[in-house]
Structure 1
Amino acid sequence: MPTRWISRLLPAATHTRPTEWSRAAIGVSLGTLLSVWVCSLFFGLPIAMHLIGPLGASAVLLFAVSSGALAQPWSIIGGYCCATLVSLAVAHFFGRNLDSACLAVGLALIVMCLLRCLHPPAGALALLVVLADPDSANLGWGLLAPVMLAAACMLLAALVYNNLTRVRYPKKPAEPSPVASTPQVAGDPGIKAEDLQKALEQMDAFIDVTPEDLEELIRASEHYARRRSVGEVLAQAR
C-alpha cells in the first residue's frame, strides 16, 4: 500500500519528443517577450513587468499544451477579463490586502467556470491585480486595458507561431463523429464524442481534455490494437 501511494507522486511518462520541447520553449520565450514589450510601449515597463508572471504561465499553456481546453482563445481572453474585473471590484470594496486577494481569486474562479473560460494563470492575475504595485494601482479600472492588450498579444503570438510550426491552434470545433471504416462487433454501438462528454460530466472534476481528443485517442488505440491482433494471429499461423 505505501509503495502504491508513493508511485502516485511520481511523474507520468512524457509522450512528446525533445524537438517538441524545443519548439514550445522558443514559442514561450517569444510570446512572453512580445506581450511584455508591446504592453510596455503603451503603458510603461513597470506595469508590463507586473503582469509577466501570469503571462509566462499562459505562454506555457498556449505553446506547450495548446490542444488543452484551458489553452483555447476564449480561455485566456475571457479568463483574463473575468479575473481583472472581479479583482478590481474586490479591491474597490474591500481594499488591497491579502484577505481581499484571496477572496478575489476564489470569486474569479467561480465566474470563469460560469462563463466556461477557466484559465489557471488568471488566478495569479487576480492576486496581482489586488496586490498591485503603485503604478498599476493608480490606473484603477483602467488596468483592464494593459491586461487585455497583453493577453491579446500572447494569443496572437500563439496563433501565428503554433500554426507556422505545424501545430493546429486553436482547437478545431467539434464535428459529428465519422462512421467507423471497420465493421463493429454486433451489439457494440461504438463510442462517440457525446458519450465521452457525458462521461466527463459524470466524473465531476476539472479535466483538461476535450471529448474530441479522447475520441481521437480511442480511435488510434483501436487501430493499433487491431494491428497487434492481426500480427499475433499471423505469428501463431506460422
Structure 2
Amino acid sequence: MQTRWISRLLPAATHTRPLEWSRAALGVSLGTLFSVWLCSLFFGLPIAMHLIGPLGASAILLFAVSSGALAQPWSILGGYLCATVVSLIVVHFFGRDLASACLAVGIALLVMCLLRCLHPPAGALALLVVLADPDSARLGWELLAPVMLSAVCMLLAALAYNNLTRVRYPKKAAEPAPSVITPPDEGDPGITAEDLQQALAKMDAFIDVTPQDLEELIRTSEHYARRRSVGEVLSHAD
C-alpha cells in the first residue's frame, strides 16, 4: 500500500520529443518577451513587469500544451478578464490585503468555471491585482487595459508561432461525431460520442481533455491495433 502511494508521487512518462520541448521553450521565451515589451511601450515597464508572472505561466500552456482546453483563446482572454474584474470589485469593497487576495482568487475560479474559461495563470493574476504595486494600484479600473493587452499579445504570439512551427492552434472546431466510434463486436454496442460525454461527466472532476481528443485517441489506438493484428496474421501465415 505504501509503495503504491509513493508511486503516485512519481512523474508520469512524457510522450513528447526533445525537439518539441525546444520548440515550446523558444516560443515561451519569445511570447513572454513580446507581450511584456509591447505592454511596456504603452503603460511603462514597471506595470508590464508586474504582470510577467501570470504571462509566463500562460506561455507555458499556450506553447507547450496548446491542445489542452486550458490553453484555448477563450480560456486566456476570458480568464484574464474575469480575474481582473473580480479582483477590482473585491478591492473596492474589502481593500488590499491578504484576505482580500485569497477571496478574489476563489471567486475568480467560480466565475471562470461558470463562463467556461478556466485558465490557471489567471489565479495568479487575481492575487497580483489585489496585492498590486503602487504603479498598478494607481490605475484602478484602467488596469484592465494593460492586462488585456498583454493577454491579446500572448495569444497573437501563440497563434503565429505555433502555426508557423506546424502545431495547429487553436484546437480545430469539433466535427460532427459519428454515431459509433468503436465498431461493435457481437454482443457489444460499441462506444459512441455520447458515451464519452457521459463518462467525462461521471468522473465529476475537471479533466483537461475534450471528447474529440478522446475520439481521436480511440481511433488511433484502433489503427495500431489493426496493424498489429494484420502483422500477427502475416507472421503466422509465414
Distance of 1:182 and 1:121 partners within structure 2: 37
Gaps of 5+ in 1: none
Partner of 1:47: 47
Gaps of 5+ in 2: none
- Report the residue type matching 1:113 in the other structure: C
- The CA RMSD measured in Å over matched residues stands at 1.6
What displacement does 1:131 show? 0.2
Partner of 1:67: 67
Matching of residues 181-200 of structure 1 within 5 Å: 184-200=184-200
Partner of 1:84: 84
Matching of residues 104-115 of structure 1 within 5 Å: 104-115=104-115
Judged with a 3 Å threshold, the aligned counterparts in structure 2 of structure 1 residues 102 and 143 are, in CA distance, closer, same or farther, namely same
Partner of 1:157: 157
Partner of 2:144: 144
What displacement does 1:233 show? 2.8
Judged with a 3 Å threshold, the aligned counterparts in structure 2 of structure 1 residues 118 and 182 are, in CA distance, closer, same or farther, namely closer
Distance of 1:127 and 1:87 partners within structure 2: 8
SS in structure 2 at match of 1:76 = helix
- Report the residue type matching 1:120 in the other structure: P
Distance of 1:183 and 1:137 partners within structure 2: 59
Distance of 1:188 and 1:19 partners within structure 2: 41
Judged with a 3 Å threshold, the aligned counterparts in structure 2 of structure 1 residues 148 and 207 are, in CA distance, closer, same or farther, namely same
Distance of 1:154 and 1:95 partners within structure 2: 30
Judged with a 3 Å threshold, the aligned counterparts in structure 2 of structure 1 residues 237 and 181 are, in CA distance, closer, same or farther, namely farther
Q: Scaled by the length of structure 1, what TM-score is found?
A: 0.96
SS in structure 2 at match of 1:10 = coil
What displacement does 1:178 show? 4.4
Q: Scaled by the length of structure 2, what TM-score is found?
A: 0.96
Q: Deviations over 1:82-138 (max 9, x none)?
A: 000000000111010000000000000000000000000000000000000000000
Are 1:232 and 2:224 matched, yes or no? no
Q: Deviations over 1:166-194 (max 9, x none)?
A: 11101111111247799642444432333
Partner of 2:94: 94
Would the aligned equivalents of 2:32 and 2:59 in 1 still touch at CA under 8 Å? yes
Judged with a 3 Å threshold, the aligned counterparts in structure 2 of structure 1 residues 182 and 50 are, in CA distance, closer, same or farther, namely closer
Partner of 1:219: 219
Would the aligned equivalents of 1:39 and 1:149 in 2 still touch at CA under 8 Å? yes
Number of aligned residues:
238
Distance of 1:217 and 1:85 partners within structure 2: 38
What displacement does 1:4 show? 1.1
What displacement does 1:197 show? 1.8
Distance of 1:133 and 1:119 partners within structure 2: 23
Would the aligned equivalents of 1:196 and 1:211 in 2 still touch at CA under 8 Å? yes
Distance of 1:211 and 1:126 partners within structure 2: 30
Identity of aligned residues (%): 84
Would the aligned equivalents of 2:181 and 2:193 in 1 still touch at CA under 8 Å? no
Distance of 1:168 and 1:70 partners within structure 2: 15
Q: Answer with 154-163 or 222-231: which moved more.
A: 222-231
Distance of 2:146 and 2:224 partners within structure 1: 49
Would the aligned equivalents of 1:82 and 1:111 in 2 still touch at CA under 8 Å? yes
Would the aligned equivalents of 2:162 and 2:168 in 1 still touch at CA under 8 Å? yes
Distance of 1:122 and 1:191 partners within structure 2: 36
Distance of 1:210 and 1:66 partners within structure 2: 13
